[in-house]
Structure 1
Amino acid sequence: MRREHATPREGWEKIIEGQGLAFHRSVQATHLPRPYWDESVHYVFTMEQVLDLEAQVEELHRMCLAVVEHVIAERRFADFALPEWTWQEITHSWERRDPHVYGRFDLRYDGVSPPKLLEYNADTPTSLLESSVVQWYWLQDRFPGDDQWNSIHERLIDRWRELVLPTGPTHFAWTNMDETGEEAMTVAYLQETADQAGLKTVAIAMEDIGWDPLNRRFVDTGGRVLRSAFKLYPWEWMLADRFGEHAVRHAASTTWIEPLWKALLSNKALLALLWELYPGHPNLLPAYLDGPRELTSYIVKPLLGREGASMQIVSPDHQARTEGSYGAEGFVYQGFEALPSFEGQRPVLGAWMVADESAGLGIRETAGLITDDTSSFVPHRIEL
């Protein structure tokens, strides 16, 4: 694994915008010191490295599913700060095997040591279009003789085809709170993959979803019933919303993707439960819910934090804190290992899962110790 430089394609901004990556301009105009999409650099992997990463990511996913099974069997929902009225419905969602589509593992990896799990974005991961489409066309334009860890698009289409969903259109929902357009872009891309799979789809804002109290079901602005819906809207927000209880207690009326049981995997309490069930595993960092225990270098993460906000690094060698309002539900204390530095930049590998299979890689990098919404996306290739 190495970081290389390359000349950006002429007119690259229009190229990526034509591929759907439109929000980069609004983000760039606000706070990024470098382009969000930065093709002046990229990372190079060997095929052996990628095959090893694929196998280890799929093992991590299996371990995460085992944690869900454990939490449900042992009734450990309180560790995740989930309201008690959701516990039984989460159990039912898991027992029904409510369908899931995708997720993203964030990994620390230096190309030499085993990758370490930083967190699992299992409910509402973004940077999908960049990973699936935009970097693939960059590869074709710049290094057509090389390969890329990237079967995301094809696997998403296959996954939509596999799902057995209720009759009627599948609604794809974003939120009007999205100020940059990133979430709307991600939802539009996922809707496109569903369209290509042959599903009938409808776009809708979360704020436009209505509740029919007489028939106890969700409806769109045209009065159509939401029998199945993809939402880029986290479960913890839904559970705090006024209509969230309807979504949980009347789950039979709407198939939500991602499903309710993913509320366990998108919560950073998962990290502590993984370490408890698989202590010393080479792909894990020690993590605890009740404090740092024996750790002298650790990072404090809110159970329901997003975009690197409300975190604190405590270490003899490093001190850092990010702003944010998360943490009311509690924190996890995870062993801290600084991200590897490549020419002063620190990459986080985002390894994508589609259903239960590894599907591809996206890389975000920053000069800081914590990857947040100021980090740039850079492409990668496999040298053949």
Structure 2
Amino acid sequence: MYGEPYWNEARAYRFTLREIEEDIEDPSTELHQMCLDAVGRIIESQELMARMGLPEKHWDYIAGTWRGGDPGLYGRMDLAYGGTGLAKLLEYNADTPTSLFESTSFQWQWLEDQITAKVLPRDADQFNGTWEALVARFAEMWPGGDTIYFTSVPENSEDYGTVETMAWAAKEGGVNPLYLTIDKIGVSDDGRFLDADGYPIRFLFKLYPWENMLNEPFADYLAQSGCFMLEPAWKALLSNKAILPMLWRFNEGHPNLLPAFFEDEFAEAGPAVQRAEAAFAAGRVVKPIFSREGASVRILDAAGGEIAASGDHGYDEHPKIVQAYHPLPEFDGSHPVIGAWIIGDTCTGMGLREDRGLITQNLSQFIPHYIEG
């Protein structure tokens, strides 16, 4: 990719156990709890729901999945952290995060290989309990076993790799997994979702964004389908960058958050923006509330001059949020972002991706890590 390997083991990132536990694991678990608190507040307010950019006709369905206690499975928090100072939340993909296979199976295999080759000491470790946590989560959610359909868009090897990893974890947890591409799902006369053979789908893991699903005709059947969705629809509030100004509104000054505002709020420069003025001295990042892999993201300096911008403008039409610019750390000309995995409600592991540019995107390299000391 760009003439370089996506998986790069020419180097690795070394962490101490203290850094993992105190700077990444515990703050990520706390941030997730703050996100859950934010969801509970947002669904009770029409004003706040309107800020999330989701179709109003599906607000009741979204709220119903939250009030009904539909459990979440997984998510990935993207953090800026360079070994000093506090980790800062950049965004939270709580709906369709990828790089799961790399973070769990392949990264752990790398660690074992390096120990066997005596490149790393025998007591080297890795923050990587995500696979075991996934298996346990499936077993907890479906203790009697069940059939879960796993779906993704056709002809996308990265998405299929994530879905296949999920399906193997489900199988190890006692669940019967079946795969079909999302274009093969149909609807019965009474509004139930069907597989390619016409059998009703009771449980569906979909690697397909809620913001897309809710704007398609099939969404009209969600409430009556009797289909339990993974992730549940309330996750549409967390994988949405509109959650960032919500988190700041509800937790202003939290040390692991960056000040963030909706674009119109930032332009109005009200009291909350003024209180955060110092945090914007390094610049600001403008992000669409719906965006994937860094697309349509711009980094501006304090005067509004452009520092960096994505070449992918596919999400330009969406409403924007403005987040204080927190420069990523730099190691040998590359900028890493930590992806902290949340399984259930707990941070269980991480993976790192780095890019020579300032905006992490879909072809950024995956770099393994280990714990020593």
* TM-score (normalised: structure 2): 0.90
- Residue 265 of structure 1 corresponds to 238
- Secondary structure of the 2:314 match is coil
Paired with 1:363 and 1:371, the residues of 2 have a C-alpha distance of 11
Paired with 1:210 and 1:81, the residues of 2 have a C-alpha distance of 27
Using the TM superposition, give the Cα deviation of residue 166 of structure 1 relative to its aligned residue in structure 2, in angstroms: 9.4
- Residue 212 of structure 2 corresponds to 237
Question: What letter corresponds to residue 69 of structure 1 in structure 2?
Answer: G
Q: Which digits, 9 at most, give the CA deviation of each residue in 1:217-261, with x for residues without a partner?
A: 0010111110001000010111122212212x225x100000000
- Secondary structure of the 1:363 match is strand
Question: What letter corresponds to residue 307 of structure 2 in structure 1?
Answer: Q
* TM-score (normalised: structure 1): 0.88
**Structure 1 position 380 matched with structure 2 position 369:** yes
8 Å CA contact 1:275–1:287 kept in 2: the answer is yes
Using the TM superposition, give the Cα deviation of residue 167 of structure 1 relative to its aligned residue in structure 2, in angstroms: 7.8
Cα separation, partners in 2 of 1:190 and 1:167, compared to 1, 3 Å: closer
Structure 1's unaligned 5+ residue stretches are 1-27
8 Å CA contact 2:237–2:243 kept in 1: the answer is yes
Using the TM superposition, give the Cα deviation of residue 212 of structure 1 relative to its aligned residue in structure 2, in angstroms: 0.5
Paired with 1:299 and 1:40, the residues of 2 have a C-alpha distance of 31
Task: Output aligned runs, 1:1-384, within 5 Å.
Answer: 28=1, 32-52=2-22, 53-75=24-46, 76-142=48-114, 143=120, 144-164=122-142, 168-176=146-154, 178=156, 181-213=157-189, 215-247=190-222, 249-250=223-224, 253-289=226-262, 290-292=264-266, 293=269, 294=277, 295-296=280-281, 297-316=283-302, 319-322=307-310, 323-384=312-373
- Secondary structure of the 1:119 match is strand
Cα separation, partners in 2 of 1:168 and 1:223, compared to 1, 3 Å: farther
Paired with 2:105 and 2:368, the residues of 1 have a C-alpha distance of 11
- Secondary structure of the 2:217 match is coil
8 Å CA contact 2:55–2:215 kept in 1: the answer is no
Report how many aligned residue pairs link the two structures: 349
8 Å CA contact 1:168–1:227 kept in 2: the answer is no
Query: Could you tell me the percent identity over the aligned residues?
Result: 41
8 Å CA contact 2:213–2:219 kept in 1: the answer is yes
RMSD: 1.6
Cα separation, partners in 2 of 1:50 and 1:167, compared to 1, 3 Å: closer
Paired with 1:166 and 1:209, the residues of 2 have a C-alpha distance of 25
- Secondary structure of the 1:73 match is coil
Cα separation, partners in 2 of 1:167 and 1:51, compared to 1, 3 Å: closer
Q: Which digits, 9 at most, give the CA deviation of each residue in 1:146-175, with x for residues without a partner?
A: 000000110000000000489851100011
Question: What letter corresponds to residue 211 of structure 1 in structure 2?
Answer: V
- Secondary structure of the 1:240 match is coil
Structure 2's unaligned 5+ residue stretches are 115-119, 270-276
Using the TM superposition, give the Cα deviation of residue 291 of structure 1 relative to its aligned residue in structure 2, in angstroms: 4.7
